[in-house]
C-alpha cells in the first residue's frame, strides 16, 4: 500500500475543515469516543460539527477558524493518506506554505455560491509555486445551489481559464457537498449529471510521489565512526537518498570539496545492498579515505551534477513579522548544510493574485519575493522545478533561531547572471 | 528495482532522517524511553539510524513509581541488550526535593508530576533535544505540533509561535536554556506502529498481550489493573478478566481493554475492528476538559 499526502486550500468558510471531517467520518476513520465528544459539544442544535475534528486548539475553537496546520490520517483498502489541513486566512499564508511544501496533491475548495475568488487564485498559485502537480477543484456547497450543473460547469470553466493562463497543471473538478456528504466518499444521487469519481475515489487513483525520476542526490547527515576494537576504521556516511538511485561501485563526487571516489558499499539497516533509491535512509561507505562531513553532498560526477554556487536567485516566502531588507545577514539551511548568508538584493515582490512583479524595498510577513542570495559556503543546489528537495532551503535568524523564510532556488551561478527576464505576468512551471 | 515504496518504508525513512538530524544538529540529545511500544519502536529506528555505531544519546526514563513491573524489567533488559546508556529519574525523588503534593483521590495519578521530573533531568544533563514517541493521531492538540517543537526553559509550548516546518528541513537552532522536543513518529498511527512491530518482529512487554488480571471496574466501565497504589473502598467491584493494554503509562490512569489477543497479528485484527481510539479507551486523565492536553503541553508536558 502506498502513501498520498494532500493539502486542502481555499478561503475561510469554504468548508475545508468540514470536508476533512466528512472524509474521516464517511470513511469510518473517526473513533466512537471522539465522535461522542463532538456530539456532546453540539447537543444544543442537534447536528455534529465535523469541522471540530480538525480544529484542535483552544483559540481555533474560540474563533471558529483554523490557525495552524493540522495533520490527520486515514487509510482505505487502497491507500494511506496524510491530510494537511492548512488555514485559509490571508494572515496565515505561511502556514499554507508549510503544508504545501510536503504535499503531493492540493484540493482547492470553492464555495459554489462564490465561485473562483481571490483566495482561490492565491492558494492555487502558491501550491503550484511549491511544486504540487495534482490539483482537485472541489466545488463545495452544491446543496446550496440546488445541485445545479450549470453552476458547477461555470466554476470549472473559470478555474480552467486560471490554470491555462498561468500554465498550471490542469485540475480535476468535482462537485460535492461536504456538509451533506454528497460525492465526498460515496457518489451522490443529488448529482446524477456528474459521472466522474467521488473525491475519495479520485484520491485513491492519483499517482503518488515518484522521487526516483530525478537525478541522484544524497547529503550526509551524520558520520558513523564506531572506533571499536572490531570496527577501528569504519567510516559510514549516514543520510537519506533525497532523489534518484545509487548503486554499489558508482563513481561519486563529494561537494563542495570536488574530490571523487567510488561507492564501496550501501548499507540499509546494516545489510549491504546493490542499489538504493529515494526516500531510503542509508549508510554509504566510500572506497577512498576522503574528507566528508555533515552537509556534504555525494553526487554522480558529470552532467547530472547539481550547481555548486555561492550566489543564487531564489523565491522566498517570507514568514517573519520582522521585515527583510537588502543586506540582511542570516543563515541558510539547505537540508543538512548550514551557511551564513546575506540577501544582496530584493528583485521584486510577487502579487500572489496576478503573479505580476511589483517593486519593493522590503519584504513583509507573508510576502513572496525574488531575491539574490550570497552564501559564505558553496551549496550544491538544483532548480526547484527540477528537484523539490535539493532546490529548497530555509532562512534562519542567527540570533533567535527562528525560521524566517522558505526558499526555492530559481537560478544559480552562471545562469544567474543571464537569466532571461520573463514577461511580467507569465508563470510557467 | 521497485520505485514505489510501501507506506511503512516511507514512514520509517522519514523517522530515521529525523533521528539523524537530531544527532547532527544537537550537542546533548536524549531519547525519552517509557518502555511503551512507541518508544520501543524508536529504539529500533535508532538502531537503523546509527548502527554499527553507538546511539548518540542516552535512553532516559522518567519513572513515576507507578509503572508495571513487567515494563521496568523489559526496559532494563532492552538497555542491556542494546548496550546503550539508560538514565532513570524518579518522580518520587522530585516530589521529595520540590516538596510537591502527592496526588490524592482514589486513582492517584502521578502523570502531571512527570513534567517536574522531566524538567529536572533536562536541567541536570543540559539536554538540548528530547526525542519522544508521541504521535499526531493520539490527540487533536498533538495533531498541531511540529516534528521539531521548540520549548522555552520552562518546557512550555506556544502553539501560536511554532516555527513553520518546510519540506523535510528541520530547524533545531535554539537559544541557551531552550530545548527541542522531537517526534520522529509524528506521522504514524497506532495501527502503523503495530504493523511495524509485526514487520520488524520486535518483542514487547507481556502486558500488551491478552492475559488474566485482577481489575477494578471504574464508573465508566473501564478496567484498571489492581495495584497497591489504588485507594479502594467497599463499593469497588473487583473482577478477574482477560485483558491487554493498548498503552502502558502510569498504572493508576491507564486502563486495560478486554481482549484475548495473543499475538501481534491478533492485536492488529482487534485494532481494525476497534471503534474507540487509543486514548479514549485507556487514558483517564485526558478527558478533564476539551483543551486538557493542549494546556498540559503548554506547561511542559511531553
Q: Could you write out the DSSP letters of every residue in B170-195?
A: ------TT-EEEE-TTTT--HHHHHH
**Cα A407–A412–A413 angle (5° rounding)?**
145
- The percentage of residues in chain B with a pLDDT greater than 90, rounded to a whole number, is 48
Q: What 3-state class would DSSP assign to B300?
A: coil
Q: Which residues of A touch B141 (CB under 8 A)?
A: 56-57
The span from the CA of A134 to the CA of A141, in Å, is: 22
Is it the case that residue A424 has pLDDT exceeding 70?
no
Cα separations (Å) of A92 from A65, A282, A317, B278? 11, 36, 12, 32
- What number is the average pLDDT over the span B75-81? 96
Nearest to B95 by CA among B73, B117, B76: B117
Give the pLDDT score at A422.
39
Angle made by CA atoms B57, B60, B63, in degrees to the nearest 5: 180
Assess A82–B contact: CB distance below 8 Å, yes or no: yes
Pairing of strands A271-273, A275-277: unpaired
Q: What is the mean pLDDT of residues B94-106?
A: 76
Please state, in angstroms and rounded to a whole number, the distance separating the CA atoms of residues A325 and A372.
12
Angle at B244 between CA B243 and CA B249, to 5 degrees: 125
CA-CA distances (angstroms) from residue A253 to A99, A211, A280, A302, A392?
A: 33, 21, 20, 9, 21
In eight-state DSSP terms, residue B14 is H
Mean model confidence pLDDT for chain A: 87
The sign one gets for the Cα dihedral A361, A367, A369, A372 is: positive
- The confidence score (pLDDT) of residue A34 equals 66
Contact A416, A312 (CB under 8 A): yes
The strand pair at B86-90 and B59-63 is best described as parallel
Is A151 at the interface with chain B, CB within 8 A?
A: no
Closest CA to A105 of A255, A245, A222, A208: A208
Three-class SS of residue A24?
A: helix
CB contact under 8 Å between B164 and A319, yes or no, is yes
Residue carrying C-alpha cell 465508566: B220
Taking the Cβ of residue A248 and every Cβ of chain B, the question of whether any pair is shorter than 8 Å is answered with no
Beta strands of A269-383 (E only): which ranges?
271-273, 275-277, 281-286, 297-300, 307-318, 329-334, 337-350, 357-358, 368-381
- What pLDDT digit, counting tens, does each position of B259-292 carry? 889 999 999 988 887 666 655 555 554 444 445 5
Lowest model confidence (mean pLDDT) among A128-132, A264-268, A333-337: A128-132
Contact A351, A304 (CB under 8 A): no
- In this prediction, residues A410-418 reach a mean pLDDT of 63
Cell of B145: 505540533
Are B6 and A1 inside 8 Å of each other by CB? yes
DSSP secondary structure code for residue A248 in this structure: T
Cβ separation of B10 and A32 shorter than 8 Å?
Answer: no
Give residues with Cβ within 8 angstroms of B273, minimum separation 6.
none
Q: Are strands B129-131 and B179-182 parallel, antiparallel or unpaired?
A: parallel
Contacts of A5 (CB under 8 A, 6+ apart): A81, A82, A84, A102, A103, A104, A105, A209
Beta pairing class for B129-131 and B29-32: parallel
Q: Which residues of B touch A56 (CB under 8 A)?
A: 139-144, 294
Mean pLDDT value of segment A160-170: 90
pLDDT, residue A420, reads 39
* CA–CA min distance B199, chain A (Å): 14
Element (H, E) at B32: strand B29-32
Cβ distance of A102 and B50 shorter than 8 Å: no
From residue B247, how far is each of A168, B37, B39 by CA, in Å? 47, 7, 11
Instruction: Tell me what the pLDDT averaged over chain B comes to.
Output: 85
pLDDT at A417 over 60: no
Cell 520509517: give the residue: B12
The reported pLDDT for the residue numbered B156 is 85
C-alpha cell at A7: 493539502
Residues of A in contact with B186 (CB under 8 A): 71
User: According to the model, what pLDDT value does residue A39 have?
Assistant: 65
Interface of A with B in 345-384 (CB under 8 A): none
Residues 6+ apart with CB under 8 A from A146: none
Q: Which whole number is the average pLDDT over B163-182? A: 93
- B43, B83, B153, B164, best to mutate vs chain A, most A CBs in 10 Å: B164
A248, β-bridge pairs: none
Binned at pLDDT 50, 70 and 90, residue A22 comes out as confident
Please identify among residues 183-212 of chain A the ones whose CB lies closer than 8 Å to any CB of chain B: 208, 210, 212
Nearest to B16 by CA among A201, A84, A281, A219: A281
* Structure-model confidence comparison of residues A163 and A48, the more confident one: A163
Q: What's the distance, Cα to Cα, between the start and end of chain A in Å?
A: 30
Chain B contact probe: residue of A281, A285, A332 with most B CBs at under 10 A: A281
The minimum CA-CA distance between B178 and chain A, rounded to whole Å, is: 11
Q: What is the ipTM of this complex?
A: 0.89
Q: Say which DSSP state B260 is in.
A: -
DSSP alpha helices (H): ranges in A117-240? 118-129, 149-165, 199-205
Calpha distance A205→A147 (Å, rounded): 25
Nearest by CB: A32 against B140, B275, B279: B275
Per-residue DSSP letter, A306: P
* pLDDT: which is higher, A149 or B254: A149
Question: DSSP 3-state assignment of A96?
Answer: helix
Kindly tell me if the per-residue pLDDT of B297 is higher than 70: no
Q: At what angle do helices B264-273 and B190-200 cross, to 10 degrees?
A: 160
pLDDT band at A344 (very low <50, low <70, confident <90, very high): very high
Helix (H) or strand (E) run with residue B257 in it: strand B257-258
Nearest-Cα residue of chain A relative to residue B51: A270
For residue A51, what pLDDT is reported? 67
Asked if B4 and A238 come within 8 Å (Cβ–Cβ), the reply is: no
Give the span between the Cα atoms of B187 and B183, in whole angstroms.
Answer: 9
Least confidently predicted of A122-136, A331-345, B6-20: A122-136
In angstroms, what separates the C-alpha of B92 from chain A's closest C-alpha? Answer: 32
- Residue B293, pLDDT score: 59
What are A280's three cell numbers?
531510503
Query: How confident is the model at residue B174, as a pLDDT?
Result: 93
Give the pLDDT confidence score for residue A119 in this predicted structure: 84
pLDDT digits (tens, 9 = 90+) for A298-324: 999 888 899 999 999 999 999 999 999
Residue B21 pLDDT greater than 60, yes or no: yes
Cell 554509504 belongs to A284
Highest mean pLDDT among A68-72, B85-89, B251-255: B85-89
The span from the CA of A427 to the CA of A356, in Å, is 9
Amino acid at each position: 500500500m502506498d502513501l498520498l499526502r494532500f493539502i486542502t486550500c481555499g478561503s475561510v468558510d469554504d468548508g475545508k475543515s468540514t470536508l476533512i471531517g466528512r472524509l474521516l467520518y464517511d470513511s469510518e476513520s473517526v473513533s466512537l469516543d471522539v465522535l461522542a465528544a463532538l456530539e456532546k459539544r453540539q447537543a444544543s442544535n442537534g447536528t455534529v460539527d465535523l469541522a471540530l475534528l480538525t480544529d484542535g486548539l483552544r483559540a481555533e475553537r474560540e474563533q471558529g477558524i483554523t490557525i495552524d496546520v493540522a495533520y490527520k490520517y486515514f487509510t482505505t483498502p487502497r491507500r494511506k493518506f496524510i491530510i494537511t489541513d492548512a488555514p485559509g486566512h490571508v494572515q496565515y499564508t505561511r502556514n499554507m506554505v508549510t503544508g504545501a511544501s510536503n504535499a503531493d496533491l492540493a484540493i482547492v475548495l470553492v464555495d459554489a455560491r462564490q465561485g473562483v475568488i481571490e483566495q482561490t487564485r492565491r492558494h492555487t498559485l502558491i501550491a503550484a509555486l511549491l511544486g504540487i502537480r495534482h490539483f482537485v477543484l472541489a466545488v463545495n456547497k452544491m446543496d446550496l445551489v440546488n445541485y445545479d450543473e450549470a453552476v458547477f460547469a461555470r466554476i470549472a470553466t473559470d478555474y480552467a481559464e486560471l490554470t491555462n493562463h498561468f500554465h498550471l497543471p490542469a485540475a480535476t473538478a468535482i462537485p460535492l457537498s461536504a456538509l451533506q456528504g454528497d460525492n465526498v466518499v460515496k457518489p451522490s444521487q443529488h448529482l446524477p449529471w456528474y459521472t466522474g469519481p467521488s473525491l475519495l475515489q479520485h484520491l485513491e487513483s492519483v499517482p503518488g510521489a515518484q522521487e526516483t525520476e530525478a537525478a541522484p542526490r544524497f547529503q550526509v547527515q551524520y558520520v558513523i565512526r564506531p572506533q571499536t576494537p572490531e570496527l577501528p576504521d569504519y567510516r559510514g556516511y549516514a543520510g537519506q537518498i533525497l532523489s534518484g538511485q545509487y548503486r554499489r561501485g558508482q563513481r561519486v563526487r563529494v561537494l563542495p570539496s570536488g574530490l571523487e571516489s567510488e561507492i564501496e558499499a550501501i548499507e540499509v539497516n546494516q545489510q549491504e545492498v546493490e542499489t538504493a533509491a529515494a526516500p531510503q535512509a542509508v549508510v554509504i561507505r566510500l572506497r577512498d579515505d576522503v574528507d566528508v562531513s555533515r552537509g556534504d553532498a555525494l553526487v554522480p560526477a558529470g552532467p547530472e551534477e547539481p550547481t555548486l554556487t555561492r550566489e543564487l536567485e531564489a523565491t522566498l516566502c517570507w514568514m517573519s513579522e520582522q521585515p527583510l531588507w537588502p543586506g540582511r545577514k542570516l543563515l541558510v539551511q539547505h537540508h543538512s548544510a548550514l551557511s551564513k548568508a546575506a540577501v544582496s538584493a530584493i528583485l521584486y515582490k510577487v502579487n500572489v493574485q496576478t503573479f505580476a512583479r511589483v517593486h519593493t524595498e522590503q519584504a513583509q510577513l507573508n510576502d513572496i519575493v525574488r531575491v539574490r542570495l550570497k552564501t559564505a559556503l558553496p551549496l550544491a543546489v538544483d532548480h526547484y522545478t527540477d528537484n523539490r528537495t535539493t532546490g529548497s532551503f530555509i532562512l534562519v535568524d542567527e540570533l533567535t533561531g527562528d525560521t524566517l523564510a522558505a526558499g526555492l532556488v530559481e537560478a544559480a551561478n552562471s545562469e544567474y547572471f543571464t537569466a532571461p527576464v520573463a514577461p511580467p505576468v507569465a508563470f510557467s512551471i | 528495482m521497485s520505485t514505489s515504496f510501501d507506506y511503512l518504508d516511507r514512514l520509517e525513512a522519514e523517522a530515521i532522517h529525523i533521528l539523524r538530524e537530531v544527532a547532527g544538529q544537537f550537542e546533548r540529545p536524549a531519547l525519552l524511553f517509557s518502555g511503551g511500544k512507541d518508544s520501543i519502536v524508536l529504539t529500533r529506528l535508532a538502531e537503523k539510524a546509527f548502527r554499527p555505531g553507538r546511539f548518540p544519546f542516552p535512553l532516559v526514563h522518567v519513572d513515576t513509581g507507578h509503572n508495571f513491573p513487567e515494563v521496568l524489567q523489559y526496559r532494563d533488559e532492552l538497555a542491556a541488550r542494546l548496550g546503550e546508556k539508560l538514565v532513570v529519574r524518579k518522580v518520587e525523588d522530585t516530589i521529595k526535593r520540590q516538596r510537591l503534593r502527592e496526588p490524592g483521590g482514589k486513582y492517584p495519578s502521578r502523570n502531571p508530576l512527570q513534567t517536574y521530573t522531566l524538567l529536572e533531568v533536562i536541567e541536570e544533563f543540559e539536554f538540548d533535544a528530547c526525542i519522544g514517541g508521541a504521535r499526531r493521531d493520539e490527540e487533536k492538540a498533538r495533531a498541531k505540533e511540529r516534528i521539531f517543537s521548540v520549548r522555552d526553559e520552562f518546557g512550555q509550548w506556544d502553539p501560536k509561535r511554532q516555527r513553520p516546518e518546510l519540506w523535510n528541513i528541520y530547524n533545531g537552532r535554539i537559544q541557551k536554556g531552550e530545548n527541542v522536543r522531537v517526534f520522529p513518529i509524528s506521522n504514524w498511527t497506532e495501527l502503523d506502529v503495530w504493523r511495524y512491530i509485526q514487520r520488524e518482529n520486535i518483542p514487547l512487554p507481556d502486558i500488551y498481550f491478552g492475559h488474566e488480571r485482577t481489575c477494578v471496574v471504574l464508573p465508566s466501565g473501564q478496567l484498571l489493573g489492581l495495584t497497591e497504589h489504588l485507594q479502594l473502598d467497599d463499593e469497588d467491584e473487583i473482577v478477574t478478566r482477560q485483558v491487554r493494554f493498548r498503552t502502558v503509562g502510569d498504572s493508576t490512569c491507564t486502563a486495560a481493554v478486554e481482549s484475548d489477543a495473543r499475538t501481534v497479528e491478533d492485536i492488529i485484527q482487534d485494532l481494525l475492528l476497534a471503534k474507540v481510539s487509543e486514548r479514549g479507551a485507556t487514558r483517564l486523565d485526558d478527558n478533564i476538559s476539551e483543551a486538557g492536553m493542549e494546556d498540559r503541553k503548554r506547561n511542559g508536558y511531553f
